[in-house]
Amino acid sequence: MSEMLAATTLGLVPLVLMVGYLRIQFMRLQQRIDVLEDKIAQLHLFRSGGQNNNGNDVTDGDMEDVDNNSGGNMSDGEFQYVEDEKAEGGQ
């Protein structure tokens, strides 16, 4: 009887560990999906001129990695680039 209990316990340990591992991986994947959804929402707001459905300005100027030819506001980083270029005798 005790051998059967030991065998069952040893059989369940890897199963419990695998379930725990899969839960951790699922939580990580969910976090990555949430981050991507937030980035997509920010990009959509940035490309639409920075206004939400109520017409309120919601951009924060931190979208430096987005192409600014879409009609959105320039980010602080790009203004800095223009100022640096002028300081070096550029345009």
* pLDDT tens per residue, range 14-60: 999 999 999 999 999 999 999 999 999 999 998 887 665 555 555 55
Q: What confidence tier does 7 reach under pLDDT thresholds 50, 70, 90?
A: confident
Q: Count of domains in the chain?
A: 1
* pLDDT tens per residue, range 50-80: 665 555 555 555 555 545 454 555 554 444 4
Q: What confidence tier does 5 reach under pLDDT thresholds 50, 70, 90?
A: confident
- Residue range of the domain that includes 56: 2-87
Q: Which pLDDT score, from 0 to 100, does residue 81 have?
A: 46
Rounded distance between C-alpha atoms, residue 68 and residue 50, angstroms = 12
User: How buried is 26 (Cβ within 10 angstroms: 0-12 exposed, 13-18 middle, 19+ buried)?
Assistant: exposed
